[in-house]
Chain A
């Protein structure tokens, strides 16, 4: 199974700050199959970025993604209060489809 190592496991950021989350895969993944989800407290996950760098419908432009091979990143250019959530990367390249352990974003 492809293991996705997300870092950091938690971030405390100020509003307006830029934050970046890294997702490193144990094997190379096609960029088409690497995705990011946002899960707000008490809610279900929501697709934010698909295929490495494409924003899902309705997702603000402050969210972006990049990467290739085994190294991917997710960035919020200017954190807002509504971005408090846990963020997960996920690979659909090979069975079993796996998720990273999550990065919890909190506001200072």
Chain B
């Protein structure tokens, strides 16, 4: 059974760095074809893909935020991480991590999401 769960700071101030953790079970990020992606959703709005990391440590970022994003993983502890630097109010959203497989680049399983608010 695949499960994912996001954790984060809840609230932070503009210009700070947002650090998110995805803790998962039911798959391994050392298995060929497996990856974790991060997607966010402002309240009442649509979905925006942010970044993926693959089993081989290959990383892909959304070019619109690339300079601000860093994705990483800890395979032995079944975790993936996302950092977003220099946040502002536009980064206020629910952040999801999801299992992706290289065969179709679909987000097969999602975490419940963590709400992040950027406010001074």
Q: Does B67 contact A (CB under 8 A)?
A: no
Query: Is there an interface contact between A44 and B111, defined as CB atoms closer than 8 Å?
Result: yes
Query: What bracket does the count of chain B residues touching chain A fall in?
Result: 20 to 34
Query: Is there an interface contact between B106 and A95, defined as CB atoms closer than 8 Å?
Result: no
Partner of B96, one of A44, A90, A98, A102: A44
Closest to A88 in B: B47
* Given A96-B63, A96-B64, A102-B46, A47 contacting B105 (CB threshold 8 A): no
Query: Is there an interface contact between A95 and B63, defined as CB atoms closer than 8 Å?
Result: yes
Q: Does B86 contact A (CB under 8 A)?
A: no
Query: Is there an interface contact between A90 and B106, defined as CB atoms closer than 8 Å?
Result: yes
For B47, B64, B106, the residue with the greatest tally of chain A CB atoms inside 10 Å of its CB is: B106
CA distance in complex: A35, B49 (Å): 14
* Total number of A residues with any Cβ neighbor in B under 8 Å: 24
Chain B residues, Cβ within 8 Å of A92: 100, 104-106
Q: Does A56 contact B (CB under 8 A)?
A: yes
Residues of chain A in range 52-66 having any CB-CB distance to chain B below 8 Å: 56
Partner of A37, one of B64, B103, B104, B107: B107
- 11 cross-chain CB contacts under 8 A: A33-B104, A33-B105, A44-B113, A45-B107, A88-B46, A88-B47, A90-B106, A95-B60, A95-B62, A97-B49, A100-B46
Residues of A within 8 A of B (CB): 1, 32-33, 35, 37, 44-47, 50-51, 56, 88, 90, 92-93, 95-102
